[in-house]
Structure 1
Amino acid sequence: MSTKQEEIFEATFEVPQKVKVTLDKHMLHVEGPLGKTHKNFKKIPVELEVKDNKVRVRAINSRKKYFAIANTAYSIIRTLCDGVLNGYTIKMKIIYAHFPITVKTKDGLVLVENFQGERAPRIAKIRGQTKVVSKGDEVVLTGPVLNDVTQTAADIQARTKVRNKDHRVFLDGIYQFYKEKGIEK
């Protein structure tokens, strides 16, 4: 093993013009035209510094593991800034063979009614600032935080899983088929 000290990873992210980033201890607050969000970096071992519209991410050690963690933190910050600036869109398709499925939103919940003829609706929670709109046989999810939009889509798809039947034959459900950066109007 060499006695030479390896260089510690450090990267600087240039914050876009319309986005404001502040750091309060371990909490990173990001504010943009589409809304506000925050991320807690307390359990992520990196050093963060916000200065002159730039965010500096620095690994705490020179090992490969900490290099990877610092790159992940950099990616998280970039995704948060892109989200409050452009937003994210996911489209899901409603598939049914016999019983027509209806999707409604109410009080922060997505209600999937008449799934395989069931009388009680299947319920999925809407995460964060995600907006859910049902248009015919499509469900469109939009929002500024990628984690919230994708988790809401995953919850809807998981709630419409076919139970006690062969899933190769009974293909009913709501499935994601389209994902893009930017909010579709």
Structure 2
Amino acid sequence: MLDSGIKKKVEFPEEVEFSLTGSVLEVSGPNGKLSREFDLKGLKLKSEEGIVIVESGSSRRKRRASVGTVISHINNMIQGVTEGFSSELKVVYSHFPISVNVEGDKVKIENFIGEEEPRVAKILGETGVKLDGDKITVSGPDKEDVGQTAANIEQAAQVGGRDSRVFQDGVYIVRRPGK
């Protein structure tokens, strides 16, 4: 039986520019610039006028899945540099008032359940964090950086060693990127 392979195309909007160097794709648009290396065994990326072609010499299930994954990553890059991604978190406390501050590439959560040392969460990449009362908005062009930054903030404010039914204080994700 002959294996014909698989080939899929991604078209880029006019406001988005891209360059493909080997397996590194750089995408730039009105909301920023992203770069990603697609070094997957058995996959090739080619560029033609305004499109990127992702192809595999095999049409087996794993190769089809890899091609679909690369296509999804490229589409997320396009959406990131045109519209961007954002995530919302909510600060909740009942025992001690929590204060949240942004300092450089870190988010400091102070007075969390009465602790003297602030809890710290790292901000990744070009992600921006805005504070508005008890609402935190995390936004940026890279979907993975936005999601990981939101998760870092939520993880930093987890209650440990206490009854979670009583101590529901924390910072919780209420809207994830892309939804």
Which category describes the TM-score, using the shorter chain as reference length? over 0.9
Matched with 1:59 is: 56
Paired-residue identity, %: 36
Q: Which letter does structure 2 place at the counterpart of 1:23?
A: L
Q: Whole-Å Cα distance in 1 between the matches of residues 57 and 106 of structure 2?
A: 41
Residue matched to 1:153: 150
Residue in 2 that maps onto 1:17: 14
Unaligned regions of 5+ residues in structure 1, if any?
none
CA contact (8 A) 2:80 2:142 kept: yes
Equivalent residue, structure 1, for 2:69: 72
Name the structure 2 match of 1:40. Answer: 37
Instruction: Say which SS state the counterpart of residue 94 (structure 1) adopts.
Output: strand
Aligned length: 179
Counterpart residue identity of residue 90, structure 2: K
SS class of match (1:81): helix
| Pair 1:84 & 2:81 matched | yes
Alpha-carbon distance in 2 for matches of 1:44, 1:88:
29
The runs of 5 or more residues in structure 2 that have no matched partner are none
Q: Which digits, 9 at most, give the CA deviation of each residue in 1:59-110, with x for residues without a partner? A: 2422111000100000000000110000011110001111111111111100
Deviation of the 1:6 alpha carbon:
3.4
Q: Is 2:167 aligned against 1:170?
A: yes
- Which deviations, in whole Å up to 9, do the C-alpha atoms of 1:109-153 show, x marking residues without a partner? 001111101111110110111100110010011111100100000
Q: SS of the counterpart of 1:79?
A: helix
Matched, 1:141 2:128: no
Instruction: State the 1:43 CA deviation.
Output: 3.9
RMSD of aligned Cα (Å): 1.5
